[in-house]
Structures are given as C-alpha cells and as structure tokens.
Amino acid sequence: MPGSKEMNKKKLPEVPSQKSIIYPIEDLYVDDPRKNAKAYDVTCVKTLSNDSENKESEKQHCFLSKYAVVYSFSDRTDIQLMSIGLFCALLQAGIPPFVWLVMGNFISLSITREERRLFNTSDTGGESNLDEEFAASATPAFLVMLLLSVKSPYLSESFQRLAWEVSGIRQVFRVRRTYVRKMLHMDVSWLESRQSGQMATMLHEHADTIYSGVSDNIPMVIFISSYLVVNIGELTGLKICYSSTVYANCLFERLSMESNKLTESRLRSSTVYDSLTQILLTELTFTAALCYGIWRVADQSPGKLAALAINMLYMCVTSISIGFHINGASTARENAEQLKKILDESPKIERDYGFAGDNPKQCLPAPKYRRQSMKFMGKGAIHFRDIHFSYPSRPDVEVLKGVSFHVDSGEKVAIVGSSGSGKSTLTALLLRFYDPDSGTIFLDGDNLKTLCPDELRGMCSLVSQEPVLFDGTISDNIRYGRLDATQQEINNAARKVGAWQFISSLPDGMQTRVGDRGLQLSGGQKQRVAIARAVIRKPTVMLFDEATSALDNIHEEEVQHAIDLASEGLTTITIAHRLSTVRGCDRIIVLDEGRIVEEGPPDELLGKEGGRFQKNGNPNRRAWNRSSLGNYNKKLGKSYSVLSQDREKLALPVMSKKRSQRLDYKYSTVGRMDIEVDVMPTYDVEENHLPGKSTNFNAVWKLIAEYRDGYSLLAGAVPTTILRAFFYLLICFEVASVLEISMVPPENRPQQIFIVAAVYTALIIIKTMFEALGRLFIALYGRGFCSYMRSTMFRKIMRNGCAYFDEERNSPGRILHRIITDSSTLNKIMEAKLDILIPAIICPVFSFAAAIYINWKMTLLCSFQFPAYFLIRIVQIKEGTKRQREMVEEENKAANLATIALSNMSTIKAYNLQEHFYSIFAQTLESLARAMKRQSVISAFIFACQYSFTYILIAITLYFGKLMMLNNEITVFDYMRVVLLTQIGANFFSQLVASVSDLSKARIAAENVVSVLKESNHDIDNLSEEGQRPKLEGSITLQNVSFRYPSRPIIPILNKLNLKIDAGQSVALVGPSGSGKSSIMALIQRMYNATDGEVYVDKYNVRSINPAYLRRMVAAVGQEPTLFSFTIKENIAYGMMESEVTMEKVIEAAKIASIHDFIQSLPQGYDTEIGEFGAQLSGGQKQRIAIARAIVRRPVVLLLDEATAALDSTSEKAVQLAFEKAGKTCTCIQIAHRLSSIRNVDKIYVIVNGAIAEEGNHEALIAKRGIYYEMTQSS
C-alpha cells in the first residue's frame, strides 16, 4: 500500500544494506541515534529505551514492595485507581476504632450506671438522675455511630472494591493482549522450542491468578493488615503491634525466599506451609499485642476495655482468610514473574512491538529495521551465498552446507532432492523464519537482515506441503492472502486454481466453514484453497513447497497450469518430487544432504547420463516428454467461467468441457443422487450449551461425590473444621468476659488479666492448629480434585468420535479452555471456600441459640441482619450468575482464537496475519472486559451495602439496648454477650452467603464439566469395553453405503457404494480430490458411522466390534501425518501396544521405512525430540516416521492415504517395497495420485463423486480406455 509505505518511510530511519557482489548498491548511512555518529552497514538498529522513564516506572511500583511485579502491567490510570483503592482501604480500616470507641463510651456509661445501681439501691433520686444522664449520653453516641455507618463505610467499601476490580480487569486484559501480541511477534525458532498447549495454558491460568492477586488477594491482605494494625494501634497506643507485624512479615519473607530455592515439586507443598506459617505468626503476634493491650487499658475507662474486647473478636474473625489471600498473592507474584520473563524477551528477527496498551492502534513497531531501497524493490532477484545452517533445536546437525545459487527476476527455479536434504529449509530462510549461521541471502541486492520481515513476507507467497487453514469460511481463508481483497477478487482466485467448481457445489458456497485446520475439506480441496490464498496476494516471489502433492493427476494438471499462468513474470521457486510439477521450470537445482550436487536446465539434467536428477527422474520420463506446454494447450479448450464477462479477464486454460464432464459427471451418480436430507432437529446451540442454566448446585455435589479418593481427606477436614467453629464461640465468650475485669477490685485485677489472657491465648493456639490442619486437608483435596476433574474430562472427551470434534463448539481451543479453566476455577473455590462453609453453618446456629438463651428480645432484634444479608447476597448471586453466563462464551472465543494462533504461527507469519489475529483477539477481550466491569460495579455496590448495613444494625442495637437497660430487661454484660454472639454469627452467615455467591462460579464451572461428562458419544465410544474382539483376517465389505458428515448433513459424500475386498488383497482407490476416498477409510476405521448401509470386516459389522480393538487391527498413514511432541522412539512405538514395545521392533520398522540412517545421524538418535506436530522434521521425514509407526503394528488391514506423496523417488521406491512386503501378510488399501505406485495392486477402484465408476486391475482398466486410462495419460 503506497500510503503506508510513505508513512513508514518517514518514521523509520534508513539503514545501509550490505553490499552484494552481484548488484551495485549505493552507499546508504544514517545517524546512530545513540552516539550521534555515522553508522555504516548497520544491519539492525536496537530499539531505543528511555532509561529515565524506566526508572520512573520502577519508582511508581516501589510502594508495593515485593509484589511490584504483579503490578508491572499497570499504567498511570491503573496506578491512580489502585491509589484510590488503597486510600479507601486504609480509610475503611480506620473507621472501626471510632465506631468501637463510641460504643465503648456507651458501654462505659452503662457499666458506671450498673455499678451505681448495684451499690446505691436506696438512692432513688440518684438512680433517676443516673438514668437521665445515661439516656442523654447514649443518644449522641447513637447518632454519631449512625452517621459514620451510613456515609464512611459505604463510600469507602464501594470505592475500594470498584477501584481494585476495574484496575484488575484493565491489567489482566492488558496482560493477555501483550502476551498474545508478544507470541505473534516472537521468532519461529523461539516458538518451536515451546509447545502451543503450554503457552495457551500459561495465558489462561497465569492471567487468571494475576487478576485474582491484583483485584482481590493483595487488596485484602492490605485491608486486613491495616485493619489489625490500625485497630490495636488506635485503641492501645502501642508500638509493639507494629514492630511485631514487621517482624512476622520479615520472617515470612525469609521463608518465601528459601522456598523459592526448592524444586518445583517441593514448591507446591511449601506454598501451603508458608500460608499456614503466616497464619500462626499473625495470630500469635496479635494475641500477644492484645493481651498486653488489656493490661494497659484495664486501669483506664471500661469503654476502652469494651472497645478492645470487640476488636479482639472482630480481628480474630477477620484474620481467618488472610492465609489464603497471602497464598493467592504469592501465587500471583510467581506467575507474574514467569510472564514478565517471557514478555521481556526480544525477538532476534521479528519486529518487537513492545508493550500492548489499551488502544491497539497506538502500538507502533520499534524502528528495528530500515526500509529496503526502492530502487531495487519489487523485482524478485534472489541470491543465496555460501549458506550454512543448523536448526536451533539441533545445532549439531548441519542442514545446509555451503549452498550458493542465484535466481533472476521472473525466473522459475525448481529445487529437488531426497527428503530431508534441506529444500524446505531454503524457503524458511528466504521468509526469514530463521537466519543462516553463516552466509548471506539477498533479495534485489539487499541483505535480508536489513529488510523488515513483514515487508519481506509481503512480497512472497508460500504454499506449503501441509496447508494450514483456519476455522472460518472458505472466503475468509482465501482473503487471508490479502486482507483488503474484494469478494470478486476472491472468486476469481478460486477460479484460477480450479477450486471454484467444488466450492460452488457446496450448499453454502464460499461461506462454508472449513473446520479446525480445514478438517471439513479433503486434502486436495484444502490445497486448492491454500493456492488461491497465495495467488490473491499478487506477490513478487512465489514459493511452492510440494503445493500439488495432495492433488490427483487431473486436478494437478489443471492447477499446475493455472499456477504457471498466475506466476507468469514472477520469481518462482518450486520444491517438488514429481517431474510433472517442475516441467515448466527454467532451471532445476538438485540438493543432496545439504549441498547442491546438480544444477541446470531440465532437458540438460535429464540428458545427463548417470546424473542424480536423470536417475531419479527415469520412471517419470514418459510423463516429462509428453508434457510440454504447447502440446498441453492443444488438448485444452478455452477457459470456463460462470460469468461470461470474466472469460477474457481470466484467460486460463482448463480441461475441455467434454473431458471435464466425462471425468466429473458421466461416470458419477451425482445426477441420480437422492439429495433428500433427513430433517435435522433445529435448536439454538447457544441456548442448549449455555452453562449455568440450572439454578441448583447438584452439579457441584455430584462432582464432589464422584471423587472418591478425596473422601479420606474430607474425613480429616470436616472434624477439624467443626472443632474450629466451636472454638470461635468459646473465644466469643472469653472476649465478653474481658468486660468483667473492670468490676474486679484493683488488687485482684492482674490475676484476672493473666487468666483471661492465658485462656484467650490457649484458645487462639488450639483454634489455629485446627485451622492449619483443616486447610492442609482441604488444600490437598482441592489439588487432587482438580487433577481428577482434568483427567476425567480428558478421558471423556477422548471417548467421542470424530463427529464430536467437527463441531465448531468443540474446537481444540474451546476444549482446552474447558479442561484447564473450569477445573482450575473449581480448585480455587474449593480451597478458598470449603473450609469456611462448615464454620459458616455451625457458628450462626449455635451463636443464635446461645444468644436466645441469654436474652431473646435483644437476640431477635440483632437477628434482623441475617435476612438482610441473605437478601443482599441473593441479589448478588442472581446478577452475578447472569453476567457470568454472558462472559462464558466470550472467554471460549478468546481461548479458541489464542490456541489457533499459537498452533499455526508459521502460516500466520508467512501471510503477515499477526496484527489481524491480534486485533480480533483484542476485540473479543473488549466485550468480555465490558461485561466484567459491569459485574464489578454491581458487586461493589452490594458489598458496600452489606458492610454499611453491619454498622447501621450495631447503631440500632445500641439504641434499643439503651431502652432495655433503662427498663432493667438486660444487663450491660448480657448485652455485650448477645451483641458479640449475634455479630460473629452474622459475620459467618455473611461469609456463608458470600461463599454461595462465589460458588455460583463453581456451579457454572461444574455444570460445564458435567455437561462434558454427560454428553453423548455420537454413537461411537472410543474407549468402550463393549463389543466383540474376534480374530480378524482382513476382508472388507461395504454394502449400499451412503455417508454424509454429521457437520455437513446436506452434502452427500458416498452414495450407495458397494465394495468387496478379500483378505490379503492389495487394493487401490483412485479418483478426483473430494470424491470420497478418504471417507471410505474413515468408515473402515469407524471414525464415523455410515449414514446408511453396512460396513463389515470379515463377517462382523464394524458397529459390533470394539472400536479400540478394531483400530488396533488397522494401521493408517495419512497424507498429512500427525506426530506428537515426543521423541522419535516414542512416536514410532505408539503403533504398538505398551506391553509389546521393544527397541528392536522400533529399529526394524525404521529400517523398513528408510528412516533409520537419518535417525542415527542425529546426535540423540531415537531420543531426539521432534517438536510440536513434528516441526523439527521435514515433510518426508515425518511421513517416514508415520510409516514406521504403521509398520511396527503389523496390522491386519493397512490403510495408506497418499502415504508416499511427500517422499522423493528413491525413498518412495524403498517404502513402496516395504508396503508390498507388509501387504503380503495383511489387506492393503491405498489411495494414490501417483498411478505408477499402484500398477502392481490386485484391484483398482475408480471413485468419482461418491460412487464406483470403474473397477479392475491395471491392465483391464487400461484396455477399457475409460476414466482410469485418461488419468494415466495425464500422469
């Protein structure tokens, strides 16, 4: 785009290119921005960093001490919000002392009145005056407390929660955006060293823990600590509490530093230990301080003693959750450090876009690269000079060994050679996925290292051997080649590559969804869509890495000539094994073991006796001689198009109408197919699968009941938690007895203080011990429960057939999100809330009963807070569940998009789609962030109402307590006991309802889990123990089989197909791409069930055979082999049962597959890690490992779906001999486009549009001169 180029030209400084010996380059230079000096031959200009800004940023975070890393993702607005939250937390912590002092003055007057009433019973006038004085002094206390309760707590609580929540939401989504953006712009070598699943898991889990730390855990630690410190400090005037708190904190910090030195496995257990240690230190510290405070204030007014007694109780209850919050804060810090470490890494090749702010458009790339010289831009001349290269994952294995060659602008060059010789590596270097270890690559005279990778890739189009399509429509996938393409341009691109015919035959046409990685399309259809994506790009350089290997001969011929015309005038590099693919090239380069062994025009290399190319090309010599472009054009008519006005514009030759109709329609039954589709039940997918639709917690209890291994831990947790609840009540009575110290004579007061302090300390220690044991049991239970849920969900998902994974809602990203996030949510809530539930149930009941026993009137008055709390929380649960449902689908979309992006990074980079995927991800997060912010406003309002209502009720009880005392219906000591008992009961009841509120998240997560566990298996249970396990010989019969994919029920794939294969017979299935060949193999393996008709193996219906047993008897090698991120040995051994695995069998299979020598050449041999999807291997190497995996199984039925398509001629011959040898002991079914590989099979079936058009052996079909004969003529 010219506009963008001019903009970048102004913003980015020009840097000189390295000189090429071929092209004269003008000397360019720029001022070095650091040294203000001339810098010549600058390859990269490092991103400037403003040191002063960094220091200022560090100072902004220093007040958060060791947890500063958690807030390292904040901006100025977040810091302002957190400052407001911190100020409100401190204000809220400072409110209780004033409230309790006001109440203490009231209690002091009450005790004075009580003393005078007891010791001056005869003085009626004095008692009357005392009552008047008491009533007059109590009224201002009531008004002051009411005023404080209404304004300060409500405002401080609401602003505190809202500020922290909004800041947390902003930061966590900035973390997610920055993380995804960083991954999209990291080098391919860095990404290949990590698994996409691990990166996706880190994104979800780490971001969630950081959010909890920022918005909940750290603010609660600050609030509770401030509450404890401010209350004791204000009421006692002591400094001992401050110093003891600092000491406890330093000790805990020391324990944390020591725990960080432990291994990861021990670190998990030490986290529980650290939190329990912190609880014990905190309890003992404040116990000592409070006991000392009793001694200090006992000689003063009884009011301060009463205020201190109330604080003793409230601090005991408030400190309950500090351990979990400290544990959560520590976990958030650890995860933030891991994320920060990744985000601080800089790519060596890609442009570093740095930190992603709230507005993606404001994120401009750093000036790391200069723009290339416009003088040479756009011509496409390429020069490789003395290239040496080893993959970073295997630095000891040199892939390219001094490769040098030159490609002129507009020249078509083919690179051929054996599998693993380094052909695909050249394209990766040209696209700058990697940089060579030594040597230089030039494009139009410019060193690639001086060119911006995005602009370099914008000049190239790549069609790889294994095309990657994204889960979207066909139109979207083609548009990814050029995002500003119109629909008409997309349609034209599809016509150019011969894809329009099959696309237009689909019910939804261009709007047909292709599924994850294009699984809804056949291999040939995927490849044509990928080629259309490359053609629409209008590049300068075209790169084809086995682009037509998945096409049949007919469509290959059509597509290849469409490619020839589409790439006319462009520099084209083709990597191929078939001679028919490279016949139109100007020059051929032959690679062998990383070196160029031959180079020259095609005819010259073919005529070179004993040459490598001539030797490998001999079997296809006939195809070469017959395939000149001139002769081909004579056989073809003019182009076809559905729009007459497009004919002259396209001017692309395709097969003649007569020949095309004969191949695609004459021998098919498409004209006679019954297109009637069974009426599918209509339902709203979102409604049926929306989590949290039920309103009970049966799902949670069911999951707890199913985890039987945790019963012993629950048996330990429940009694200890119950005992802890009773100790809270005992502590409550003991705190109330503190007031009686003021009635004790001065000479006996020290002894009474010692008794009270000793009993209180003993109760605290015992309570803490039970609390520690209970939380330990619950922590162990929560982690075991999480592991159990994940393994159970994974096993259940693995039970489903392929139809389950074809559905859009069951994409890998969504499945991963369910397994990781839902189980993690349950784990967090289990650990945080399970130990609160039992005390929250027991304490309100027994405290209410004890208070009723003391004074029922005051108890009923104080109990109004119970229904008030209940109603407040019910509103929160209702609104919270509603918002949670809205957020679930958005979270699934974001998780799926992130997983797709992380799994297909090479394709995304090749087409410069990083910013496109990032913008979609950011938009998805924006809607989720808005929903969460709305939820935080409601939550802050509800919590503020509850917090303020507590103090309002205390003020009301004070007023009515005054009236009851004046009427002599209650003593001040009974009043305090009732108030304290009901308050602690109400506090625990509030926590119970709050836990139920938080359990709404657990309910939704549990229902997600249960929905997965209860979901039907689509008539196929992969792990079922049922079904027959007969001894199979390998005969296969398909009787009147019709088939439609469940995800595309309108499209008929097979139509009343009949097929009979005898045991031990070798059979080939041939035909155009998309005719149903691969579907037949899927039905034989029972990946799907036939829509109509029956499939038999021997005399057994495949539905009656155990699925796992059936597939153990069958080995399949697909045209796109799937390997796992393990060692080579493990990937081959997966073909056998675990009990049968031996190293000798693995090596034998590798030798048969012609991969043993290559494996032995690797430094780690069979223990070499191959990377995700086998990314560390070439296409041919992956294919041969997949073949070895199939051979080692020694199957009854061997299925080969284009198994040798990615192999060179020499390897193909060796593997074909291995297949023929293996086929002597089993039934072998091949799908092949190279007809030369199936000449010796017993029978050939020609499949066209889901029906058998021809059958017979090679000679019989040639004699028939039908479809097969014409296919051989085009091969």
How many CB atoms within 10 Å of residue 873? 22
Going through 881-965 in order, the beta strands assigned E by DSSP cover none
Confidence of residue 389 (pLDDT cuts 50, 70, 90): very high
Amino acid residing at 194: R
- The pLDDT value recorded for residue 540 is 87
Residue 286 is predicted with a pLDDT of: 54
Determine the Cα angle at 17 with ends 14 and 20, to 5°: 160
Cβ contacts of 692 within 8 Å, gap of 6 or more = 881, 884, 885, 888, 1000, 1003, 1004, 1007
Looking at residue 813, its pLDDT comes to 67
Residues sharing a CB contact under 8 Å with residue 579, sequence separation 6 or more, in sequence order: 617, 620, 621, 623, 624
Amino acid, single-letter form, for residue 294: I
Please report the pLDDT score of residue 388 as a whole number. 92
Report residue 357: phi and psi, to 5°: -85, -165
pLDDT interval class at 68 (50, 70, 90): confident
CA distances from 1133 to 1128, 1141, 1166, 1185, 1214 (A): 9, 6, 11, 10, 21
Compute how many other C-beta atoms are within 10 angstroms of the C-beta atom of residue 1099. Answer: 10
Domain positions in the chain are 82-343+726-1014, 382-666
Confidence of residue 658 (pLDDT cuts 50, 70, 90): very low
By the 8 A CB rule, do 653 and 608 touch? no
pLDDT in tens, 736-761: 677 677 667 777 777 777 777 778 77
| Residue 323 or 582, more confident | 582
Which of 71-89 are b and which e, b meaning 16 or more Cβ less than 10 Å from the residue's Cβ? bbbbbeebbebbebbbebb
> 1036 has which bridge partners?
1061, 1097
**Which amino acid appears at position 1135 of this protein?**
G
CA atoms within 13 A on the CB side of 480: 27
CA distances for 830 relative to 164, 542, 823, 877, 1011, angstroms: 23, 56, 10, 18, 20
**Amino acid residing at 803:** A
Alpha-carbon dihedral sign for residues 472, 474, 480, 482: negative
- DSSP β-bridge partners for residue 1230: 1068, 1200
pLDDT tier at 128, thresholds 50, 70, 90:
low
pLDDT value at position 296? 57
Three-state SS for 121? coil
Report whether pLDDT(669) > 50. no
Tokens of 737: 């007895």
The confidence score (pLDDT) of residue 1002 equals 67
**What is the pLDDT, as a whole number, of residue 1096?**
92
Q: How many CA atoms lie within 13 A of 1051 on its CB side?
A: 21
Question: Token pair of 1158, please?
Answer: 């290559």
**H or E segment and range at residue 1094:** strand 1092-1097
Closest CA to 203 of 1115, 1193, 921, 748: 921
Contacts 24+ apart (CB under 8 A), 673-679: 673/1052, 673/1055, 673/1250, 674/1052, 674/1055, 675/1050, 675/1052, 677/1044, 677/1049, 677/1050, 678/1049
CATH architecture designation of domain 382-666 = 3-Layer(aba) Sandwich (3.40)
Answer whether 978's CB lies under 8 Å from 858's CB. Answer: yes
Look up residue 460 and give its amino acid: C
If one compares 108 and 1112, the residue with the highest pLDDT of the two is 1112
pLDDT of 241 strictly over 70: no
> Which one-letter amino acid corresponds to residue 233?
G
Question: For position 117, what pLDDT does the model report?
Answer: 67
pLDDT, average across residues 83-92: 81
User: Which CATH number applies to 82-343+726-1014: 3.10.20.30, 1.20.1560.10, 1.20.120.1200, 1.10.10.10?
Assistant: 1.20.1560.10
Contact yes or no for 486/940 (Cβ under 8 A) = no
Strands 29-31 and 38-40: antiparallel
Cα atoms in the 13 Å half-sphere on the side-chain side of 880: 24
Query: Residues 179-221: pLDDT tens digits?
Result: 888 888 888 888 877 776 677 777 777 787 888 888 877 887 7
With CA atoms as reference, report the closest residue to 723 among 769, 791, 672, 665: 769
Residue 73 has pLDDT above 60, yes or no: yes
CA distances from residue 1101 to 1057, 1060, 1066, 1083 in whole angstroms, order as listed: 16, 14, 21, 11
1085's tokens: 């393996």
The whole-number pLDDT of residue 1219 equals 72
List the structure tokens of 458.
Answer: 């914008």
Residue partners of 374: CB distance under 8 A and separation at least 6: none
CB 1060 within 8 A of CB 1084: no
Strands 412-417 and 1036-1043, sheet pairing: unpaired
Strand partners, 1227: 1197
Helix 749-799 to helix 264-297 angle (10° resolution) is: 160
CB 449 within 8 A of CB 487: no
Give Cβ neighbours of residue 918 (< 8 Å, ≥ 6 apart). Answer: 177, 180, 181, 184, 356, 360
Q: What is the mean pLDDT of residues 339-350?
A: 82
Give CA angle at 1100 (1094, 1105), nearest 5°.
95
The single residue listed with the structure tokens 């949510």 is: 825
Question: For 362-371, 575-584, 1100-1109, which range has the lowest pLDDT when averaged over its residues?
Answer: 362-371
Distance CA 965, CA 855 (A): 12
Distances in Å between the Cα of 1171 and the Cα atoms of 201, 1166, 1247 are: 18, 14, 37
Please give the average per-residue pLDDT across 523-549, as a whole number.
Answer: 82
In this prediction, residues 219-226 reach a mean pLDDT of 77
Q: What is the DSSP string of 778-822?
A: HHHHHHHHHHHHHHHHHHHHHHS-HHHHHSGGG-HHHHHHIIIII
Question: Phi then psi for 1105, rounded to 5 degrees?
Answer: -90, 140
Q: Is the pLDDT of residue 364 over 50?
A: no
Distance of alpha carbon 61 from alpha carbon 82, whole angstroms = 11
Looking at mean pLDDT, say which of 830-839, 874-883, 884-893, 1050-1059 comes out highest: 1050-1059
Q: Would you state the structure tokens that stand for residue 945, as one six-digit string?
A: 């109402």
Which of 803 and 1228 is assigned the larger pLDDT? 1228
Burial of residue 1164 (CB within 10 Å: 0-12, 13-18, 19+) is middle
| Residue 381 confidence (pLDDT) above 60 | yes
Beta bridge partners, 1156, equal: none
| List of residues 6+ apart from 285 with CB closer than 8 A | 241, 244, 245, 247, 248
Half-sphere exposure of 805 (CA within 13 A, CB side): 18
Q: Which helix (H) or strand (E) holds 351?
A: none
Share of the chain above pLDDT 70, in %: 68
Average pLDDT rounded to a whole number, residues 325-339:
80
pLDDT of residue 808: 67
Q: Spell out where 509-634 has E strands.
A: 541-545, 571-575, 587-592, 595-600
Looking at every residue in the chain, the average pLDDT score rounds to 72
Q: Give the mean model confidence (pLDDT) for residues 589-609.
A: 84
In angstroms, the CA 366 to CA 351 distance is 7
Enumerate the β-bridge partners of residue 1042.
Answer: 1092
Which of the given ranges, 146-150, 296-300, 1055-1059, 1208-1212, has the highest pLDDT on average? 1055-1059
Q: What band does 885 get if pLDDT is binned at 50, 70 and 90?
A: low
Quickly state the pLDDT bin for 878 (edges 50, 70, 90).
low
DSSP code at position 1204: T
Q: Report pLDDT for 640.
A: 27
| Residue 27 DSSP SS3 | coil
Q: What does the pLDDT average to over 758-786?
A: 79
Return the structure tokens found at 354: 């740095």
pLDDT > 90: what percent of the chain?
Answer: 3
Alpha helices in 218-321 (DSSP H): 218-236, 240-260, 264-297, 302-318
Q: Residue 286, Cβ neighbours under 10 Å: how many? A: 25
Q: Are strands 1197-1201 and 1114-1117 parallel, antiparallel or unpaired?
A: parallel
